[in-house]
Homo-oligomer: A and B are copies of this chain.
């Protein structure tokens, strides 16, 4: 009973925003939530406190979902399969959970639902209305477990909400979600064909298709799915080193001359907006790789960019020549296809010319921009990618695949295995009854490897190549809409001029108090604080989320990105209205 009453104590939710920030700021959401209470579908997030049993639904819902009225308060994990007679409680428990999840999914796409219900760490740690994060020695009932599941979602962030623009990965693809549910039910490991036959083949076919799209003849080459773009980029550096200095594998970095790597000076927002650091100067993941792999960050040379954030090829060549004159060996160039802040595409063809001239490994980091390869209209922005030696491409970003799904593609076959295999002799045992060349463990730096392929494969089946193309074209149209809307609008300044190359639109909102004020240190400092303040209010209200960061000598600006298939022009309009509503008195 205690659990039950706690679980329905949602009274603080709908109006909490008002309490925190006053009627004026959050009037919008309150209004919409009121509307929502009368709407057809009554989800748990708008239900009133009730003394009814915890998980009962009104009769209409019950007959529709056909779940039995199971009392979970006397059931425990130990009563589920593999327990004797565990089938019925197992299925009922999973169906009850699925009801929670499908309600969450429906509300996520409902614009009258908040994007988040923000609380500070200390508030969540103190325990919110019966939601206790502490672990205990004794088991809790399945009823409490289901309540914990609801609360976990309640205090989280709806990354699939049409107005969630905070990350490069947004949206909740239903096919991808189904794929993840199946993946976790299958619960296997990509290490060998023996235990993941279907998934291993799906990975192989999908990687080949991706290599064809990159433009490598017949889709030949190699590749693997890895736990994210940073690890994919790390693979590329390792493989480049193995190709040119294979002895490093056995003898270490001291066996090689002083090797240098090149990448854009352009900041990754991960390093600033999210990690709240100022004036950092290199691409995060390549820098992390240079430290981890024993090159040292000082041997990562940063390349100058133009006003749009694109690497200047002449600067690369000058720095290559300079490095060689100092006796260093230029090993690796990273060309970014879709930088995280500006959405800039480095000129790959011109960079490839230089790499060929000086025999340097060319990697294209298309973690964010790789998706544009699927669009006939936009893929020209990656012209020259077919000349790369390796490519990072994260379907979990622009293509809307659930986190995580990142591929490292390699043009030359055999390097991935040569680099990562730990068994020099290759003394094959003629033991296994199947063709062991399908086993993948030898290529990976991981031992166990999560199945990241299935959701992506299933989405590709369900949408077709044309479906991905449509999604990408639509997102780019939306960013064009935003750009056109604000470029000449009162109170806005663009961070760089010209149409967006990717969906990134970077801008300052200038509150009325700063308009017409001449540039000065003081004005810059005041402007620097505008975006963070607006963002904090957005989060308190829960209406929308968008990122911001500084860049070089530019003070904090908003970085809008669109990868969410649920977003429409009305959501872009909403974002702008919201910025103005929250920012007008700053």
Give me the 6 closest cross-chain CB pairs, A-B, nearest first. A294-B294, A66-B66, A252-B296, A180-B184, A82-B566, A253-B253
Asked if A293 is at the interface (CB within 8 A of a chain B CB), the reply is yes
Which of B109, B160, B191, B254 is close to A253, meaning CB atoms less than 8 Å apart? B254
- The 10 sampled A-B contact pairs (Cβ below 8 Å) are A65-B66, A133-B202, A149-B178, A157-B194, A157-B197, A167-B189, A172-B185, A228-B448, A292-B292, A432-B532
Contacts of A194 on B, CB cut-off 8 Å? 157, 166, 274, 539, 545
Q: Nearest Cβ in chain B — how far from A165, in angstroms? A: 12
Alpha-carbon distance between A504 and B283 when the two chains are bound, in angstroms: 45
Given contacts A87-B106, A139-B466, whether A185 and B297 have CB atoms under 8 Å apart is no
Which of A7-15, A48-56, A93-101, A354-362 lies at the binding interface?
A93-101
Alpha-carbon distance between A21 and B282 when the two chains are bound, in angstroms: 60
Other A-B pairs, 20, CB within 8 Å; known A157-B194, A227-B227:
A63-B66, A76-B462, A80-B175, A104-B185, A105-B185, A119-B197, A133-B198, A133-B201, A133-B205, A135-B457, A138-B464, A139-B463, A139-B467, A152-B186, A180-B181, A251-B299, A252-B258, A253-B253, A254-B258, A284-B422
Which of B178, B287, B404, B466 is close to A94, meaning CB atoms less than 8 Å apart? B178
Q: Are B156 and A197 in contact (CB under 8 A)?
A: yes
Asked if A385 is at the interface (CB within 8 A of a chain B CB), the reply is no
Which of B152, B193, B295, B540 is close to A182, meaning CB atoms less than 8 Å apart? B152
Q: Are B169 and A448 in contact (CB under 8 A)?
A: yes
Given contacts A201-B121, A227-B446, A445-B288, whether A429 and B276 have CB atoms under 8 Å apart is yes
Contacts of A548 on B, CB cut-off 8 Å? 431
Which of B91, B172, B297 is close to A249, meaning CB atoms less than 8 Å apart? B297
Within 8 A of B (CB), among A138-174: 138-140, 142, 144-145, 148-149, 151-153, 155-157, 159-160, 162, 166-167, 169, 172, 174
Q: Nearest Cβ in chain B — how far from A367, in angstroms? A: 8
Residue on B with the closest CB to A457? Answer: B135
Which of A29-37, A435-443, A477-485, A506-514 lies at the binding interface?
A435-443
Contacts of A228 on B, CB cut-off 8 Å? 446-450
Within 8 A of B (CB), among A382-410: 394, 396, 402-404, 406
Alpha-carbon distance between A328 and B157 when the two chains are bound, in angstroms: 51
Residue on B with the closest CB to A459? Answer: B77
Q: Are A294 and B76 in contact (CB under 8 A)?
A: no
Asked if A102 is at the interface (CB within 8 A of a chain B CB), the reply is yes
Contacts of A180 on B, CB cut-off 8 Å? 180-181, 184
Q: Are B298 and A251 in contact (CB under 8 A)?
A: yes
Which of B97, B118, B450 is close to A227, meaning CB atoms less than 8 Å apart? B450
What does the 1/0 interface line of A224-243 toward B look like (CB < 8 Å)? Answer: 00011111001000100000
What does the 1/0 interface line of A400-426 toward B look like (CB < 8 Å)? Answer: 001110100000000000011011011
Contacts of A151 on B, CB cut-off 8 Å? 198
Contacts of A139 on B, CB cut-off 8 Å? 461-464, 466-467
Q: Nearest Cβ in chain B — how far from A23, in angstroms? A: 20
Given contacts A294-B253, A448-B396, whether A145 and B201 have CB atoms under 8 Å apart is no
Alpha-carbon distance between A64 and B403 when the two chains are bound, in angstroms: 34
Which of B272, B278, B296 is close to A250, meaning CB atoms less than 8 Å apart? B296
Q: Are A434 and B279 in contact (CB under 8 A)?
A: no
Q: Are A81 and B105 in contact (CB under 8 A)?
A: yes
Q: Are A174 and B93 in contact (CB under 8 A)?
A: yes
Q: Which among A93, A124, A402, A403 has the greatest number of chain B C-beta atoms within 10 A?
A: A403
Contacts of A581 on B, CB cut-off 8 Å? none
Given contacts A77-B462, A87-B106, A427-B278, whether A422 and B182 have CB atoms under 8 Å apart is no
Given contacts A294-B252, A566-B82, whether A91 and B102 have CB atoms under 8 Å apart is yes
Alpha-carbon distance between A178 and B457 when the two chains are bound, in angstroms: 23
